Amino acid sequence: SSGLYALGSGSSYALGAVHALAGNKPVSSPQQARTIATKALGIASRLDPHTGPPIQAFTQTRDARSDKT
Residues in the chain: 69
Q: What is the pLDDT of residue 66?
A: 62
The closest alpha carbon to 18, from 43, 36, 44, belongs to 36
- Give residue 1's pLDDT: 61
pLDDT of 12-65, one tens digit each? 888 888 888 877 777 788 888 888 888 888 888 888 888 888 888 887 777 766
pTM: 0.69
| pLDDT at res. 62 | 73
